[in-house]
Amino acid sequence: MKRIAATSDQSFPRKATDWVVHSTFDKTFNLTDLKQPKMLALMATGEKIVPGGIYLSQKDFREIRQALPKVESIKSTENQLFIETVGADWEIAISPSEQTILSVKGIKSVQAEKLLAAGQKISAVTGFSYPLASFGDPQNNPYFQMMREFNQGNELQKVVDYLIGRGRGLTPAGDDFLLGWLFVDWLNNQSTTLTKAVYNRVENNQFTTDVSRNFLTRAINGEFSQPLLAVADFLTETENTYDLAELIQAVVDYGSTSGLDTLAGILSGLLLIRGVK
């Protein structure tokens, strides 16, 4: 058995759990326990820090990734992951040192306006086929009127139902948009209405993909990627040294249009709460 080390965020499960391979890609592979929406994503060190991520050396990731077609069992205990395949076994010591928990609240209106203004200058096209710039303007935002009209009580479920699973890919555009909206909602002292409406649709697999259910479930719990945590710091601190263009680019660089679609949700959420002090 090969004994290696990896890092993860603080959400690595403490209970003994059996896992199976859900999906594999060049730079990552996902594990599921077939019981809950949350998954684990194994990747090489240097990839973006995301909730549920486990980060291995390039060599270890490559070796395990190549052995996955012959996997026999995958188990986890507190701070350990065991992968058994035909021909090789790994015992991975997990160090839960990466931060993905949103710990700041209170959006500053001046910072929100800076982000909205920056967003209005980005012409890149989102997964909705609209440029990101349109989402920073209430007159051109394709969903803002619907969000504002139904932003209360059970009515909000209509907006979530319209967006959930909308689009193509592992994380449809509508789901990434909802993640961005949840992000703003968390920073704005989290309303139970939005989180409940999203939870109603991710608690089972009828409405969207498993990968989206994973990220949206984590967002409901305040878990976000490190590029988004940096945006959170920018929005909640009037005095900071962040380069806004770099913050935006770090989010945009995630996936094909996932980063843009998440930013579309963030801009729309900021428009919705405009005037917050």
* Helix ranges restricted to H, the chain: 58-67, 109-119, 144-149, 156-163, 173-187, 192-202, 210-220, 226-236, 244-252, 258-272
Q: Which pLDDT value is given to residue 238?
A: 87
The Cα 146–Cα 143 span in angstroms is 5
Q: Which pLDDT value is given to residue 276?
A: 44
List, run by run, the mean pLDDT of 10-residue segments along the chain (277 residues): 96 95 95 95 96 98 97 97 97 96 92 96 96 96 94 85 91 97 92 90 93 96 96 92 95 93 98 71
Q: In this structure, what token pair is assigned to residue 277? A: 């002090």
Other residues' Cβ atoms within 10 Å of the Cβ of residue 88: 14
Other residues' Cβ atoms within 10 Å of the Cβ of residue 126: 26
CA atoms within 13 A on the CB side of 61: 22
The Cα 260–Cα 262 span in angstroms is 5
Q: Which pLDDT value is given to residue 277?
A: 39
Look up residue 106 and give its DSSP letter: -
Nearest to 133 by CA among 260, 254, 272: 260
Handedness of CA 55, 61, 67, 69 (dihedral sign): positive
The Cα 270–Cα 262 span in angstroms is 12
Q: Which pLDDT value is given to residue 28?
A: 96
3 state DSSP class of 231: helix
The Cα 9–Cα 152 span in angstroms is 34
The Cα 258–Cα 34 span in angstroms is 25
* Angle (nearest 5°) at CA 133 between 141 and 231: 100
The Cα 166–Cα 208 span in angstroms is 8
Q: Is 110 exposed, middle or buried (0-12, 13-18, 19+ CB in 10 A)?
A: exposed
Nearest to 10 by CA among 108, 94, 104, 120: 94
Q: Which pLDDT value is given to residue 255?
A: 85
